[in-house]
Amino acid sequence: MNPALSLLHPYPFEKLAALTQGIVPPGQLSHINLSIGEPKHPAPAFVLEVLQKHMSALGQYPATKGIAPLREAIAHWASARYQLTTAQLNPELHVLPVAGTREALFSIVQAAINPQKPNPTVVMPNPFYQIYEGAALLAGAQPYFLDCSASTDFIPDFAAVDARVWDNCQVLFICSPGNPTGKFLSMECLQALIALADKHDFIIASDECYSELYLNEAQPPVGLLQACQALNRLDFKRCLVFHSLSKRSNLPGLRSGFVAGDAALMAPYLRYRTYQGCALPVPTQWASAAAWQDETHVVENRRAYREKFAQAQEILQPHIALQQPEGGFYFWLKTPSPGVEFARQVFSQCHITLLPGEFLAREGAQGNPGKDYVRMALVADAEQCQEACHRLANFLGNR
């Protein structure tokens, strides 16, 4: 087997299972899981209806490129969302459906890394979504971590990175809104990164899977395609964005998202994907097209998260300093004791599972940037989130 497989780290949830193993939480409290980022709001009924209606299409092999109506719906959605006027997305050239962003974030690195260049490197934030690191390791590249801590306002300090790192960089992962920090990258930052990518010849892979979950309805996060538009970069050169229906539309089980951007990258990536064999079933594609064409359910989804964040803040604020995220559905909570210890105690006393921040990060020059944090996903329904916050408030109050 490929020896690089042994380099893969255990997934954060494996570490979490080991942390809580053998602990017997209070029997009278039901378990509330706030560790995993799995949306729990109901899937939109109209999408499920479309899925059902097209079930007979399971009798045909799907094409990797996807059906034209889906690619058109995606191009239309992204053009409206990011005000792409002159930088136009051609559904034939710039868009590919993917089976959720996870597989795409992984496979793009396999397709992109050129092992013949010296020191292939994939640069990524720290803490981060672990797929970025695994993708780099299995492609024979070196992951390079950019710490996101309070001192960098929880976004990578791109300007501090040595030019030699950028020279070796073949793929830069960015994530906005960030998981777990919820931070947005600004238009200025995205434009500066595009200039860096041109100077040092690397691809920017922008993970925007939380882009539709933002707290201020009037301030959606900007995206990399929008930065291309602002620069009049009509070919989206070196830029790829990754979007998903999992969080936007509460369809994590549908396994549906898209990659869009530079046609010169998309064409060889499609060739790669044809061999990998990850075409979306046709009913999934029709259901996805319907989901991308509707915004009403997405507005309602944001409203539900906004309400839960406000409720959590009201209950917890007297006990712990809480920062509302700009986007996403996580609190990145600074803990009064190391995050691992805090998570263990909260599990044993409150029967609530939180994810220790250090499981989402690697040691950097200043230690592990997740060490004093836990990630708390407000994915459960409002009632459960409220109950969890009351238990936490009690726990914090009794410390």
Residue 175 Cβ vs ligand PLP, minimum distance, rounded to whole Å: 5
Name residues contacting ligand PLP, limited to 112-171 (CB under 6 A): 129
140 conformational bin, left if phi > 0, alpha if psi -120 to 50, beta if neither = left
Name residues contacting ligand PLP, limited to 174-203 (CB under 6 A): 175, 179
d(CA 72, CA 91): 5
Interface with ligand PLP (CB under 6 A), residue from 102, 238, 308, 344: 102
User: Would you say 206 or 384 has its CB closer to ligand PLP?
Assistant: 206
User: Would you say 129 or 154 has its CB closer to ligand PLP?
Assistant: 129
Strand order in the sheet with 169-175: 95-98, 257-261, 239-244, 203-207, 169-175, 121-126, 142-147
Residue 101 Cβ vs ligand PLP, minimum distance, rounded to whole Å: 4
Residue 350 Cβ vs ligand PLP, minimum distance, rounded to whole Å: 24
Closest CA to 362 of 9, 3, 119: 9
User: Would you say 229 or 284 has its CB closer to ligand PLP?
Assistant: 284
Q: Give the residue ranges of DSSP H helices in the chain.
A: 12-20, 45-53, 68-81, 101-112, 130-138, 163-168, 187-200, 224-230, 245-248, 263-276, 282-292, 296-316, 339-350, 382-397
Q: By CB under 6 A, which span of 100-108, 213-221, 286-294, 337-345 interacts with ligand PLP?
A: 100-108
Q: Tokens at residue 307, please?
A: 């309400």
Q: By CB under 6 A, which span of 13-21, 96-104, 114-122, 134-142 interacts with ligand PLP?
A: 96-104
Taking residue 359's Cβ as centre, other Cβ atoms within 10 Å add up to 25
Give kind and range of the element (H or E) at residue 147: strand 142-147
User: Would you say 220 or 257 has its CB closer to ligand PLP?
Assistant: 257
Residue 130 Cβ vs ligand PLP, minimum distance, rounded to whole Å: 9
Closest CA to 11 of 92, 168, 131: 131
**Residue 237, exposed/middle/buried by CB under 10 A (0-12, 13-18, 19+)?**
middle
Residue 220 Cβ vs ligand PLP, minimum distance, rounded to whole Å: 17
Interface with ligand PLP (CB under 6 A), residue from 19, 32, 41, 101: 101
User: Would you say 315 or 380 has its CB closer to ligand PLP?
Assistant: 380
At 65 the three-state DSSP class reads: coil
User: Would you say 81 or 102 has its CB closer to ligand PLP?
Assistant: 102
Assess contact for 144 and 124: CB atoms under 8 A. Answer: yes
Name residues contacting ligand PLP, limited to 104-123 (CB under 6 A): 105
Q: Tokens at residue 231, please?
A: 């620069």
User: Would you say 143 or 387 has its CB closer to ligand PLP?
Assistant: 143
Taking residue 351's Cβ as centre, other Cβ atoms within 10 Å add up to 20
User: Would you say 211 or 226 has its CB closer to ligand PLP?
Assistant: 211
User: Would you say 64 or 179 has its CB closer to ligand PLP?
Assistant: 179
Interface with ligand PLP (CB under 6 A), residue from 133, 147, 207, 358: 207
Assess contact for 358 and 9: CB atoms under 8 A. Answer: no
**Residue 216, exposed/middle/buried by CB under 10 A (0-12, 13-18, 19+)?**
exposed
Based on the shown chain and the rule CB under 6 A, indicate whether residue 100 belongs to the binding site for ligand PLP. Answer: yes
Name residues contacting ligand PLP, limited to 244-303 (CB under 6 A): 244, 246, 252, 257
Q: By CB under 6 A, which span of 101-109, 261-269, 285-293, 312-320 interacts with ligand PLP?
A: 101-109
Site string for ligand PLP, 9-28 (x = CB under 6 A): --------------------
d(CA 144, CA 208): 20
Enumerate binding residues for ligand PLP (CB under 6 A): 37, 100-102, 105, 129, 175, 179, 207, 209, 244, 246, 252, 257
